[in-house]
Amino acid sequence: MLEIKNLSFGFGGRKVLEDVNFTIDEGESVLIAGKNGAGKTTLLRCLNGIFNNYEGQILLNNKKIEAKDRYSFGYLPSSLSFYDKMKIGESIDFHKSIYPYFSLITFPDYKLETNRRIEELSKGEKVLFYLILVLSHNPSYFFIDDILHLLDPYLRETFLNILIERMEEKKLSVIISSQTFSDIEGLPVKLIILDKGKIILKESVETLKRAFFKVTAKKIPEDLPVIYKKDWGDFEEGYLYPYERKKSEDLKMESVKLSEIIKSIIGGNYVKKRD
């Protein structure tokens, strides 16, 4: 279990993360969402040893995390930071020398050309190669920072299937920070929304979906908990949270997608109320 306790971090006199608390269980997947600059990348960097000067604690199985514990971590940064001048074969060897349980996996319809340099790969190919590398060292926690959109839809789906398989079979925990949610809709079980470095929402997607509704009406009644509203002239469209649907309701209510939940939370009254 990965436990993040009272995590705060900042640089240059600016607080980027403030009192962040959450846990990630074995086989659990977490989606970290938030506006640009909310602190998502910084949070993943703290978890992956790039930033160490944080306050609070990061505990792995109740012990303070150390560099050697990151053998069980896999990290795919949005910067796609890597030794670009290395050939694919060299980087596989390099990874092998670091991770003792490295066993190269294959990806359907993709053949690794070991003599190609990483700098010669397209961005999508680089992401794919990085994914192969990370999954090959068999991590228990896989952190993905807003990069999956660079894969084509087919590869994205293939990759997510592999992830789901690993979550089920090997109890892999996946922590994804993303701004595009359509493909990973079926994946996350927990949603964490950051705003200005603070967690403003931490809830399972299932619970959220049960309490989240989209309402369309000429005029949305003022007593409803509308957190995000759009006025189209002829009618209004609003997102309700938290809301318990009643059988006798005559309003037009719809269930909402994960992407709509996130959009309405980070862009609507939910955030404003907290400011």
Partner 1 sequence: MLKKEIKDTIGELLIILLLIIGLSFLALIKGVEFYIIPLLELILLLYPVFSGWSIFSREKKENSFEYLFSLPIGKNSILINKLIPRIVSVLLVLVIYLPLREYFASDFFFDKNIFIILYLLLFILSFSFSLLFNNIAMVLASITFFGMFMILIDMKVWKLLWYSDIYILIIIVALSFPIVFIYSFIKDDILPIKLFNRKFLTRSIITFIIVLVGLTVFIKLSGMNNYNYYMLTKNGKIIISDVKSLKVVDAETGKTILSIDYKVFPIVYKDDLLYGETEEKDKSKLISINLKTKEIKNIHEAEKYSFFSNPHINDNGITFLVREGGDYKSILIINKDKIRKIDFPKGAISGGVFLFKLISESPLCFIYTKYNNKTYKYENGKTEHFFTGDIKFYKNRMVLCDKSSFKVYERGNSEPVFAKNEGGHIFLKWFERPYEKRFMVVKLTSGVYIFDFETLDLHKINLKFKKDNSVVTGSFVDKTIIAIWNNNTPYITVMVYKKGRLISKKGYKSSFKKDKYIYLSRKGMMVIKWMKKYEFIKF
Minimum separation from the CB atom of position 100 to partner 1 (A): 10
If one asks whether residue 153 binds partner 1 (CB under 8 A), the answer comes out as: no
Question: How many of the chain's residues bind partner 1 (CB under 8 A)?
Answer: 29
Give the whole-angstrom CA distance, residue 44 versus residue 31.
Answer: 12
Q: Which of 6, 21, 61, 81 binds partner 1 (CB under 8 A)?
A: 81
69 touching partner 1, by CB under 8 A: yes
Half-sphere exposure for 68 (CA within 13 Å, toward CB) = 1
The stretch near partner 1 (CB under 8 A) out of 75-83, 220-228, 241-249, 252-260 is: 75-83
* Residues in 31-50 at the binding interface with partner 1, rule: CB under 8 A: 45, 48-50
Tell whether residue 22 is a contact of partner 1 (CB under 8 A).
Answer: no
As measured in angstroms, the least distance from the Cβ of 1 to partner 1 is 19
The answer to whether the bond into 242 is cis (omega within 30° of 0) is yes
The only residue of 68, 218, 219, 273 in contact with partner 1, by rule CB under 8 A: 68
Q: Does 180 bind partner 1 (CB under 8 A)?
A: no
Chain residues 100-119 in contact with partner 1, contact rule CB under 8 A: 119
**Candidate residues 21, 55, 84, 255; the one interacting with partner 1 per rule CB under 8 A:** 84
Q: Where do contacts with partner 1 occur on this chain (CB under 8 A)? A: 11-12, 45, 48-53, 66-71, 73, 75, 77, 79, 81-85, 94, 97-99, 119
